[in-house]
Structure 1
Amino acid sequence: MTDEPSETADSDDSDSDGDSDGLTLAQFHEASQREGRPVLTAGAVARTLERSHDAVSEQLDRLAERGDLERLSVSTDPVVWYPSELEDLTDKERVVVFPKRREIVVDRPDQFTRAQLAQFAHLEDGNGEQGYRYVVRPEDIWQAPHDSFEALARTMRQALGQRNEQLEEWVESQWDRAHQFRLYTHEDGYTVLEAKSPEVMGNIARQKLDEEHVHAPISETEDWVREGSEAAIKRVLYEAGYPVQDHRDLESGEDLEIDLEVTLRDYQQTWVDRFAEAGEGVFVGPPGSGKTVAAMGAMAHVGGETLVLVPSRDLARQWADTIQEYTSLGPHQIGQYHGGQKNVRPVTIATYQIAGMDRHRSLFDDREWGLVVFDECQHVPSDVYRRSTHLQSRHRLGLSASPIREDDRQKEIFTLVGPPIGTDWQALFDAGFVAEPELEIRYVPWGDDEQRNAYVSAEGREKYRIAAENRGKVDEIRYLLSAHPDSKALVFVDYLEQGRELSDALDAPFISGETRHHERRRLFDEFRRNERDLLVISRVGDEGIDLPTADLAIVASGLGGSRRQGTQRAGRTMRPAGGALVYVLATRGTREEDFARRQLQHLGRKGMTVREQTVERTEDESKRESEETAEDDSEDADGGDIVGERESEPEPER
């Protein structure tokens, strides 16, 4: 069980487990959590919940009569108590609800329970060995796939095995919030913001919005919306806690018959069904879960001309090949629009940078798209990419393995594109659709005293860079590669100089933003065809690059990056084939240790196993490393590299 902080002794976490003024089974579970054992004496329960011993004894008897608890006499105490379900704990799930925190903790949930929970709750901690902890957030209720609150309440009761009035009351309030505002198209062609009541319009919308958003009131519950401000209105009201229903009559574009030539997995079909019902959304799932194929299922459902926006031209080519492979569309129906080629066709894949440029924008504005797909949509809130969201279409779909941002603007993803739609990672691991990689943080000693001394005297980002480029990591990478001689490996770096040094030391190509696109593609293709088994990669490999056969990833630097970067790098090994390994190297005793733990912590909550290992060096090994480092220094003395040159984002399109 997850060790969660308990609520007060007066918590009424369950109305149905016992009398409202007595002891509930949920409170017994809470006491059990705090005591750290499933079997408790009456005295322990009374002490933990701060109640009288006599009152607790009487209430324990009552729960035993109901069949919720079992009693057992032992020599050290007259009676101990434990939940009846412990009689058959190996094959029985247990659900405990904490309504004040809006948390649900589940031991051994079956697939049905997890599918039901996914409809209204977010899996916050998926470590199956310690239970599953779900959090019910406002956005989970706002996007719940139900036509009425009554239908949602039935789903909740099926998942929880009981009715919890306190939690349901809060959920109903959030459901109501999600249905207070809508955008619709007036018969004269302009957009109207409508509120459910004059009070909501006056106290919320007209307090938050100004002349940049609306022209003037039409009635007590309606405002005339300025053209192009729809996305801003949705964002402002979403942040105020009132998501807007979008019922505009947007053009659906020319019809385009698309047949999917692959069978969707059950969870992918669920994603498509939920998208079809809402008309928009973001497919959220781990790398390797088939979000791209599911997006093609959405394209087939819409049956209209489609614009796909991607971060790089490499990913554009990959999309074009995949669409041709898995759908009935031919090459003449698929176009790419980026720095390499510029073709607009019924299905067009363009880069965000190009789509946001004024001189190219009219090409996309003038065409009526039935669907716009935002791949790697965690970028959408950024100033460079968000201009592409002004493109209007009847349907919008985002794809992301990690819709999180370090600037806390992730809510904008869902206001600009659509609500999250996904399946918890652990369910995909358990079902074998995605291989769960083993993650290990390895704390590596310094390779030489020179760098160690430089680190001590450095400040700020320079301190981080020195730790990241610790030459002791070179030998650790060699060791890991020799320990897995049959693996296809990727080594990730953040700094160009480090990438070049590793490339020379390992005799492997280094792919960065400086690598020409045709050369980049050639190396990736050779890796896919098993003609290469090792690549050193900069940030260009963090997103979108499809390396389906990689089964070993070594992160040499980049631990000061985002949680999203950690997810993407770990995700390079997440594919149906098992046995994937991810090693994250951090210089021992430096800030990298904290960065590594922080960056990978959220992956542990998603269900992955994260281990930690301190690397020790013998005296002979240390001496050999120093000699090798000295040789490397003499060879690189005339290299002329820029010290601390860090890989930037991919170069802008032209």
Structure 2
Amino acid sequence: MTDDADGPTAGPDADTGDTGENDVDTGDTGENDADADLSLDRFHEALEGEERPIATASEVARRLGTTQSAARDALAALVDRGEVDRLDVESDPVVFYPTDWGRLATRERVVAFPNRREIVVDRPTQYTRARLSQFAYLVDTTGTEPGTRGYLYRIRQEDVWAAPFDDADALIASLRSVLPRRYEHLEDWIRDQWRRAHRFRLYTHEDDYVVLQAASESLMGNVADQHLDDDHLRAPISETEAWVNEEAVAEVKRALYDAGYPVEDDRDLETGDPVDIDLTTDLRAYQETWVETFLERRSGVYVGPPGSGKTVAAIATIAAVGGETLILVPSRELAGQWREELLDHSTVDPADIGLYHGGQKEIRPVTIATYQIAGMDRHRSLFDSRKWGLICFDEAHHVSAPVYRRTAELQSKHRLGLSATPVRETGSEEEIYTLIGQPIGADWDALFEAGFVQEPEVEIRYVPWRDELAQNEYASADGRERRRLAAENPAKIEEIRYLLAAHRDKKALVFIEFLDQGEAIADALDVPFISGETPHRDRAELFRRFREEGVGKAEGDGSPAVRDSDDLDTLVVSRVGDEGIDLPNAEVAIVASGLGGSRRQGSQRAGRTMRPAGSALVYVLATRGSGEEEFAQRQMRHLARKGVRVRETNVAE
């Protein structure tokens, strides 16, 4: 369930054995033996500690830190109240067990592993999950049905640094509210991390230059001087302050973050000219929380599944900031889509929106530009010269890629990122949060359970080789060629036909990685194929036709068909469909190839079907006996950790 081989497994059978630590089931409760008042909940805790559904009075006494006599009397009181039953057995005169067995099986259970800073929760309540989300990272989930899942949380230093509390005491109080008892070692570590997060700050001097301030002389000498390059600081001002090279602000923040000291950025940045814009769409409660949290921090990344309304929340943020805004996107299609979203959900004047990419170049109060253009030297000075009140990084995981990284150096008073899944295979999640801000968002599973986003059903279908020649080619190949041959297994076309016929009333996307395969599938199905080679105008028109409602599959052999000249119900798409393209009526996604890609790509493709209403189905085709099996399981495991249901099917020979 987790990549950490030493980590626990969330779920009813989680291993709570000897880890060299004090778990939930051990230790002194701090109660007086003489007046122990045993509640049913505390009896459940004792049973969990014993890892048995029954216990003797001596076992209960040991688990709860009281005397056997006091435990026996307390258990007798529970029996009198009808909450516990007793049974005489030969090996021990009396054992006790809950009258309501079902309650023991379904109640929330919290097990802490303080030395690993991990918390396992079975069947957590909404309260517990909300509390944990404030200071812990959801690593993994198990189970398939809402209300039955187990959750594994890890408390990382960056989670403590970004925790939304006024002081460490408030954070510790929230921690104690969900853990079964106090863990002094864990609390001491959290307090130390909290102090680290408030030891350096950037501020604007009254003479209008940037200053780095350390909390002490030793921090400036032993941390800043050792981790910052000579060109990061212009000159010392005092024993605890230094004049910062403004062009190196991003590098200063990154270097100190890597040293374990996140920098508070209190610079007096301009918001630029005011922008007249109001939101016209009602926000959901969690979106309001996102915006409020962002405005308090002035930076952050909205993290949520497709369909959770990150774009609308971003537009609400633009309206709240009210200053000149730069929106950075990875493609021209997304730039046009952003313009439409702004017009649909706000009162912004169309004349105040500018597009800046390979097709047109306009700077307006709200400018939408591609990462590639904004990072080019010949355009960079233009963007640097603006006093942006807000920079919004859509598909924020792009920021840590070398080709786009320069855009993260653009400075603004507010920095907002949007991403369904900010993880990159290089493990540079921390870099994203350093360059933009800390994560803000509800966990995916909470949105599924609340009904805000339709939870997709993901099925990995292992397709056999049915073409002996293709199988022999695969066996004799190696490296990238071997992966390509597995991806282009001819039997996948037949399987795609079968799936489309089974869902002939639904809109479907077929994802591919290799262009030859995309063209072959599109020809076989007689549907359009969209790739990076498709002209932008043609792409936009095909996406528009796909968004049209009221279409279906043709009868007969199950092949998809176009009902009339303006409607499409199936598209084959390459990587251009992975990110951000809004196709809200896509109900089925078939991943025919691309299983050598990243976990993020797997989330993006599954995410194309995550919408507020309607069914959501994702089929991942993997050639049986090839490396695709492992790739499929790795990608989908990432989705399972977010609460998405995943099942596996072997397609018949």
TM bin, normalised by shorter chain, reads 0.7 to 0.9
Distance in 2, matches of 1:413 and 1:335, equals 26
Which of 588, 592, 612 aligns to 2:624? It is 588
Which of 111, 114, 122 aligns to 1:96? It is 111
Is the 8 Å Cα contact of residues 111 and 121 (structure 2) preserved in structure 1? yes
Shift of 1:363: 2.1
Instruction: Go from structure 1 to structure 2 and tell me whether the alpha carbon gap of 1:521 and 1:26 turns closer, same or farther (over 3 Å shift).
Output: farther
Q: Which residue of structure 1 lines up, in the alignment, with residue 601 of structure 2?
A: 565
Local SS of the residue matching 1:435: coil
> Which amino acid in the other structure matches residue 562 of structure 1?
S
> Which amino acid in the other structure matches residue 613 of structure 2?
A
Shift of 1:522: 0.6
Q: Which residue of structure 1 lines up, in the alignment, with residue 296 of structure 2?
A: 277
Report the TM-score, using the length of structure 2 for normalisation: 0.87
Write out aligned runs for 1:511-526 (5 A): 511-526=530-545
Q: Which residue of structure 1 lines up, in the alignment, with residue 18 of structure 2?
A: 8
Distance in 2, matches of 1:64 and 1:176, equals 47
Distance in 1, matches of 2:353 and 2:284, equals 25
* 2:575 corresponds to 1:548: no
Q: Which residue of structure 2 lines up, in the alignment, with residue 240 of structure 1?
A: 259
Q: Which residue of structure 1 lines up, in the alignment, with residue 244 of structure 2?
A: 225
Distance in 1, matches of 2:269 and 2:25, equals 46
Q: Which residue of structure 1 lines up, in the alignment, with residue 150 of structure 2?
A: 131
Distance in 2, matches of 1:350 and 1:446, equals 45
Instruction: Go from structure 1 to structure 2 and tell me whether the alpha carbon gap of 1:83 and 1:242 turns closer, same or farther (over 3 Å shift).
Output: farther
Is the 8 Å Cα contact of residues 95 and 106 (structure 1) preserved in structure 2? yes
Q: Which residue of structure 2 lines up, in the alignment, with residue 382 of structure 1?
A: 401
Local SS of the residue matching 1:216: strand
Which of 106, 111, 134 aligns to 2:126? It is 111
> Which amino acid in the other structure matches residue 126 of structure 1?
T
Which of 477, 487, 510 aligns to 1:458? It is 477
Shift of 1:328: 0.9
Is the 8 Å Cα contact of residues 32 and 40 (structure 1) preserved in structure 2? no
Instruction: Go from structure 1 to structure 2 and tell me whether the alpha carbon gap of 1:60 and 1:489 turns closer, same or farther (over 3 Å shift).
Output: farther
Instruction: Go from structure 1 to structure 2 and tell me whether the alpha carbon gap of 1:581 and 1:65 turns closer, same or farther (over 3 Å shift).
Output: farther
Distance in 1, matches of 2:153 and 2:393, equals 28
Instruction: Go from structure 1 to structure 2 and tell me whether the alpha carbon gap of 1:15 and 1:440 turns closer, same or farther (over 3 Å shift).
Output: closer
Distance in 2, matches of 1:63 and 1:420, equals 47
Give CA-to-partner distance per residue, 1:233-290, whole Å, 9 cap, x none. 1111111211111111111111223211011101111110110110100001111110
Is the 8 Å Cα contact of residues 6 and 30 (structure 1) preserved in structure 2? no
* 2:274 corresponds to 1:255: yes
> Which amino acid in the other structure matches residue 341 of structure 1?
Q
Give CA-to-partner distance per residue, 1:307-363, whole Å, 9 cap, x none. 100000100000001001101102111111111111111101000111111212222
> Which amino acid in the other structure matches residue 369 of structure 1?
W
* 2:502 corresponds to 1:483: yes
Give CA-to-partner distance per residue, 1:91-115, whole Å, 9 cap, x none. 7533333222222222333333322
Instruction: Go from structure 1 to structure 2 and tell me whether the alpha carbon gap of 1:594 and 1:250 turns closer, same or farther (over 3 Å shift).
Output: same
Gaps of at least 5 residues in structure 2 are 1-9, 550-566
Q: Which residue of structure 2 lines up, in the alignment, with residue 622 of structure 1?
A: none
Is the 8 Å Cα contact of residues 13 and 27 (structure 1) preserved in structure 2? no
Is the 8 Å Cα contact of residues 27 and 63 (structure 2) preserved in structure 1? no
Which of 427, 443, 451 aligns to 1:432? It is 451
Local SS of the residue matching 1:104: strand
Instruction: Go from structure 1 to structure 2 and tell me whether the alpha carbon gap of 1:9 and 1:319 turns closer, same or farther (over 3 Å shift).
Output: closer
Give CA-to-partner distance per residue, 1:480-532, whole Å, 9 cap, x none. 11111211110000000000000011111000001011110111111111321
Shift of 1:5: 4.5
Is the 8 Å Cα contact of residues 375 and 399 (structure 1) preserved in structure 2? yes
Distance in 2, matches of 1:65 and 1:263, equals 58
Larger mean CA deviation between 567-576 and 155-164 belongs to 155-164
Local SS of the residue matching 1:120: coil
> Which amino acid in the other structure matches residue 188 of structure 1?
D
Instruction: Go from structure 1 to structure 2 and tell me whether the alpha carbon gap of 1:220 and 1:325 turns closer, same or farther (over 3 Å shift).
Output: same
Distance in 1, matches of 2:100 and 2:179, equals 15
Distance in 1, matches of 2:205 and 2:155, equals 36
Local SS of the residue matching 1:582: strand
Instruction: Go from structure 1 to structure 2 and tell me whether the alpha carbon gap of 1:72 and 1:605 turns closer, same or farther (over 3 Å shift).
Output: farther
Is the 8 Å Cα contact of residues 14 and 26 (structure 1) preserved in structure 2? no
Instruction: Go from structure 1 to structure 2 and tell me whether the alpha carbon gap of 1:201 and 1:450 turns closer, same or farther (over 3 Å shift).
Output: same
Write out aligned runs for 1:43-58 (5 A): none
Is the 8 Å Cα contact of residues 98 and 104 (structure 2) preserved in structure 1? no
Give CA-to-partner distance per residue, 1:26-60, whole Å, 9 cap, x none. 99969959x9x6525579x99xxxxxx99679869
Distance in 2, matches of 1:233 and 1:569, equals 36
Gaps of at least 5 residues in structure 1 are 47-52, 618-654
Distance in 2, matches of 1:74 and 1:506, equals 71
> Which amino acid in the other structure matches residue 132 of structure 2?
L
Q: Percent identity?
A: 57
Q: Which residue of structure 1 lines up, in the alignment, with residue 651 of structure 2?
A: 615
Write out aligned runs for 1:60-459 (5 A): 61=68, 72-73=86-87, 75=89, 77-78=91-92, 80=95, 88-89=103-104, 92-127=107-142, 128=146, 129-160=148-179, 163-459=182-478
Distance in 2, matches of 1:258 and 1:388, equals 25
Shift of 1:589: 0.6
Is the 8 Å Cα contact of residues 40 and 80 (structure 1) preserved in structure 2? yes
Local SS of the residue matching 1:549: coil
Distance in 1, matches of 2:374 and 2:543, equals 26
Q: CA RMSD in A?
A: 2.9
Instruction: Go from structure 1 to structure 2 and tell me whether the alpha carbon gap of 1:55 and 1:431 turns closer, same or farther (over 3 Å shift).
Output: closer
Aligned length in residues:
607
Local SS of the residue matching 1:393: coil
Distance in 2, matches of 1:576 and 1:539, equals 24
Instruction: Go from structure 1 to structure 2 and tell me whether the alpha carbon gap of 1:131 and 1:510 turns closer, same or farther (over 3 Å shift).
Output: same
Distance in 2, matches of 1:342 and 1:9, equals 60
Local SS of the residue matching 1:245: strand
Distance in 2, matches of 1:544 and 1:196, equals 42
Local SS of the residue matching 1:97: strand
Distance in 2, matches of 1:15 and 1:89, equals 15
Write out aligned runs for 1:19-38 (5 A): 19=29, 32=48, 38=52
Distance in 2, matches of 1:488 and 1:280, equals 37
Local SS of the residue matching 1:553: strand
Local SS of the residue matching 1:405: coil
Instruction: Go from structure 1 to structure 2 and tell me whether the alpha carbon gap of 1:512 and 1:19 turns closer, same or farther (over 3 Å shift).
Output: same
Shift of 1:153: 2.4
Instruction: Go from structure 1 to structure 2 and tell me whether the alpha carbon gap of 1:207 and 1:84 turns closer, same or farther (over 3 Å shift).
Output: farther
Local SS of the residue matching 1:235: helix
Shift of 1:4: 4.2
Report the TM-score, using the length of structure 1 for normalisation: 0.87
Instruction: Go from structure 1 to structure 2 and tell me whether the alpha carbon gap of 1:442 and 1:82 turns closer, same or farther (over 3 Å shift).
Output: farther
> Which amino acid in the other structure matches residue 283 of structure 1?
Y
> Which amino acid in the other structure matches residue 591 of structure 2?
V
Instruction: Go from structure 1 to structure 2 and tell me whether the alpha carbon gap of 1:88 and 1:56 turns closer, same or farther (over 3 Å shift).
Output: closer
Is the 8 Å Cα contact of residues 29 and 64 (structure 2) preserved in structure 1? no
> Which amino acid in the other structure matches residue 275 of structure 1?
F
> Which amino acid in the other structure matches residue 125 of structure 2?
D
Local SS of the residue matching 1:380: helix
Instruction: Go from structure 1 to structure 2 and tell me whether the alpha carbon gap of 1:65 and 1:247 turns closer, same or farther (over 3 Å shift).
Output: farther
Local SS of the residue matching 2:460: strand
Which of 525, 528, 532 aligns to 1:506? It is 525
Local SS of the residue matching 1:274: helix
Instruction: Go from structure 1 to structure 2 and tell me whether the alpha carbon gap of 1:115 and 1:83 turns closer, same or farther (over 3 Å shift).
Output: farther
Instruction: Go from structure 1 to structure 2 and tell me whether the alpha carbon gap of 1:389 and 1:83 turns closer, same or farther (over 3 Å shift).
Output: farther
Shift of 1:454: 1.1
Instruction: Go from structure 1 to structure 2 and tell me whether the alpha carbon gap of 1:28 and 1:136 turns closer, same or farther (over 3 Å shift).
Output: farther
> Which amino acid in the other structure matches residue 254 of structure 2?
R
